[in-house]
Structure 1
């Protein structure tokens, strides 16, 4: 009986010793994670295929879109698993909006309105250009729908915005468009 007690005492001491050593590491890790609160967009991964947000961030033609995503607090949502189809207006598409529109939308008090507009550019699921059918309506992330126009030459329009090109991402696909889609 004494040998069993001695055995469990030794094992308990070893576990306590090992546990204390790893607890210091856990404490230092937890304090680091407590100081930085980032969502999925804050994950650093240079080895995998980029997600739709990372593709947009890497495109000099989409800096206005990225700024709008940040202002609408919509970056983490689009950095998640998806899959998403994103209609990504170019900087020149944003420049074509009436003067002052973007400045007004990016104000903190208009965040919900801006987010609604950005959600209007997102479909749940992956739709490649070949999947689009003329006259088809597709539901957007904000609960509305966009209409696809496709001519015989294969040119695809989404509510009148021309798809200029497409980029595959790890969590979906991006279709670069020449106009900002405004929900009606």
Structure 2
């Protein structure tokens, strides 16, 4: 079944390249320096007007250092700085910690770049899907979200919270190029047949 928001993989890759280039030209660094928001939680970053696109929000969050390292290792930095719009389901460091021991370290190896890229692209949708859109247009329906890696996810509702393939959205942060939904679990794409 195709999702309501299908993703063109080439478009996503071009978008990621544009984002990284823009960040490089603007002098944005993913490292820790005096001007970064290192050490701030995601809620503090959400209130910081200088954080504009989805990548800058993630870079400025102390709760997403593993995600940022993974985006860098997969070579997807430029894609998330593109105009979008993107909906990014951003797992926290605690979400990555729930994976079996050694999984993250293994995925960050250069030899695992394609596998890591596939997982990260499974966290992105082209379009700006707020929680209210997810609730009204996808919850309880047969539609699925088309993810950037070509896979699909299911949206459900539990105790008033939106779940994406069972991962709970715990916070949402609007960005200039879309929205970030902070999730408590890493979304793992189904094995390719």
TM-score category, normalised to shorter length: 0.7 to 0.9
TM-score (norm 2): 0.72
**Structure 2: how far apart are the matches of 1:131 and 1:87?**
15
Partner deviation per Cα, 1:49-70 (whole Å, 9 max, x = no partner): 5110000001100000000000
Higher relative CO (Cα under 8 Å, sequence separation at least 6) belongs to: 2
**Structure 1: how far apart are the matches of 2:23 and 2:89?**
19
Q: What residue is the counterpart of 1:92 in the other structure?
A: 94
Q: What residue is the counterpart of 2:21 in the other structure?
A: 39
Pair member with larger Rg: 1
**Structure 2: how far apart are the matches of 1:119 and 1:96?**
19
More helix by share: 1
Asked whether 1:154 is paired with 2:154, we answer no
RMSD of aligned residue pairs (Cα, Å): 1.8
Unmatched segments (≥5 aa) in structure 2:
1-19, 29-48
Q: How far does residue 140 in structure 1 lie from its aligned partner after superposition?
A: 0.3
Q: What residue is the counterpart of 1:134 in the other structure?
A: 139
Q: What residue is the counterpart of 2:15 in the other structure?
A: none
Q: What residue is the counterpart of 1:77 in the other structure?
A: 79
Partner deviation per Cα, 1:13-67 (whole Å, 9 max, x = no partner): xxxxxxxxxxxxxxxxxxxxxxxxx612224389865110000001100000000
For these two proteins, the number of residue pairs brought into alignment is: 146
Q: What residue is the counterpart of 1:12 in the other structure?
A: none
4+ runs of 1 displaced by more than 6 Å? 45-48
**Structure 2: how far apart are the matches of 1:61 and 1:48?**
18
TM-score (norm 1): 0.75
